[in-house]
């Protein structure tokens, strides 16, 4: 693996990471108002208490001073306390929500990848047929649908009209479970619509990439030889499909940011108690420590995933060289 590739990618990722850090700090603070005033309006706090909160949270300092304190807190792991859920530490709050987001993202990633690749293989194998046209048209159509709109439509149809699935939360509020299996069933029941919303709007890219790769591979010499030998169609399709898996596999990491963004919107629509919904609450209450820590974690995750995707592509296909055709 060329050292120049690693150096260039590392420099680029450092620059991206620094830009994310700056935007993560500035965007919440350019919004009107501050957390102390929001809490004062909600809980009718006296001016003296507001001043104490501003001093404790360093809101009365200049932006450069706040930025230095922000960097120090991020890199030392001392993320402070949530403004909205005070006195709960930010770390404890995020760790409390993180398992639900990991469950949603993990399940969604598997279903998105599985559905997208299978449909792409079928469309590529039956290229030029009605099956190919139907799969491709549907993929392009759903790719243009926003996460939140589809989530609300699923919520309305299956939650309000058919009443087959809950419209929010990760578990039934106040439920008492007699066995662990009852708890698992309740979690999966609440997980169905959020996963469906993410899957239907994210699988299309895998389908289109797999389909195009499959079409190219079906024209390769080894496929023609396999057909000439009289191998069954399923065997030929299996050989072609194995070679068409490289782009979708690397896309798993590259598209992680897209799925994370969809999870934030989906968690908000379904009031799913993950990190995405926590970010939404933190934006409303201008909870700077939670916003900074949550975005920091998501940014690190996506950056590392993209770097791993680049390395994986280089290792799996040595013909590829960075910056060369």
Q: What is the pLDDT of residues 174-230, one digit of tens each?
A: 888 888 899 999 999 999 999 999 889 889 889 999 998 888 888 777 777 777 777
- With respect to residue 238, please indicate whether it lies within any of the assigned structural domains: yes
Which candidate, 160, 281, 166, 262, places its Cα nearest to that of 205?
A: 262
- With respect to residue 36, please indicate whether it lies within any of the assigned structural domains: no
What's the pTM value of the predicted model, to 2 decimals? 0.78
> How many Å apart are CA 202 and CA 68, to the nearest integer?
38
What CATH number does the domain containing 122 carry? 1.10.3720.10
- With respect to residue 80, please indicate whether it lies within any of the assigned structural domains: yes
Q: What is the pLDDT of residues 60-101, one digit of tens each?
A: 778 888 888 888 887 887 788 887 887 788 888 989 998 998
- With respect to residue 133, please indicate whether it lies within any of the assigned structural domains: yes
- With respect to residue 106, please indicate whether it lies within any of the assigned structural domains: yes
φ, ψ (nearest 5 deg) of residue 89? -65, 145
> How many Å apart are CA 176 and CA 86, to the nearest integer?
28
> How many Å apart are CA 292 and CA 58, to the nearest integer?
15
> Is residue 139 helix, strand or coil?
helix
> Is residue 278 helix, strand or coil?
helix
> How many Å apart are CA 81 and CA 282, to the nearest integer?
12
Token representation of residue 54:
């501003």
Q: For the chain, give the mean pLDDT.
A: 82
Q: What is the pLDDT of residues 134-173, one digit of tens each?
A: 999 999 898 888 888 888 999 999 988 988 999 888 888 8
- With respect to residue 268, please indicate whether it lies within any of the assigned structural domains: yes
> Is residue 229 helix, strand or coil?
coil
Do the beta carbons of residue 223 and residue 130 sit within 8 Å?
no
Provide the 8-state DSSP code for 166: -
Domain that holds residue 228: 3-30+61-316
Burial class (CB in 10 A: 0-12, 13-18, 19+), 9: middle
- With respect to residue 322, please indicate whether it lies within any of the assigned structural domains: no
- With respect to residue 195, please indicate whether it lies within any of the assigned structural domains: yes
Provide the 8-state DSSP code for 89: B
Structurally, the chain folds into a number of domains equal to 1
């Amino acid at each position: 693996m060329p050292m120049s590739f690693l150096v260039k990618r590392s420099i680029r990722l450092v620059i991206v990471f620094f830009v994310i850090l700056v935007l993560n700090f500035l965007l919440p603070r350019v919004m009107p108002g501050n957390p102390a005033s929001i809490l004062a309006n909600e809980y009718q706090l006296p001016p003296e208490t507001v001043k104490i909160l501003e001093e404790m949270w360093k809101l009365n300092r200049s932006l450069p001073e706040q930025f230095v304190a922000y960097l120090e807190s991020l890199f030392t792991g001392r993320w402070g306390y949530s403004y909205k859920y005070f006195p709960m530490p930010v770390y404890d709050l995020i760790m409390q929500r993180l398992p639900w987001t990991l469950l949603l993202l993990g399940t969604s990633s598997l279903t998105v990848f599985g559905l997208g690749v299978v449909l792409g293989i079928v469309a590529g194998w039956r290229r030029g047929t009605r099956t190919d046209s139907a799969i491709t048209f549907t993929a392009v159509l759903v790719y243009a649908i926003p996460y939140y709109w589809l989530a609300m439509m699923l919520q309305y149809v299956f939650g309000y009209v058919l009443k087959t699935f809950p419209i929010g939360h990760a578990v039934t509020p106040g439920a008492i479970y007699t066995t662990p299996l009852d708890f698992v069933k309740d979690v999966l029941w609440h997980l169905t619509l959020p996963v469906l919303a993410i899957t239907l709007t994210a699988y299309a890219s895998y389908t289109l990439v797999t389909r195009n790769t499959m079409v190219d591979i079906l024209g390769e010499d080894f496929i023609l030889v396999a057909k000439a030998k009289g191998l069954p169609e399923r065997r030929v399709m299996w050989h072609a499909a194995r070679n068409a898996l490289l782009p979708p596999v690397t896309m798993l990491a590259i598209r992680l940011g897209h799925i994370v963004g969809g999870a934030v919107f989906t968690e908000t629509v379904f009031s799913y108690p993950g990190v995405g919904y926590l970010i939404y609450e933190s934006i409303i209450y201008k909870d700077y420590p939670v916003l900074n820590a949550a975005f920091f974690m998501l940014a690190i995750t996506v950056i590392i995933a993209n770097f791993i995707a680049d390395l994986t592509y280089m290792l799996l296909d040595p013909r590829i060289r960075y910056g060369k055709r």
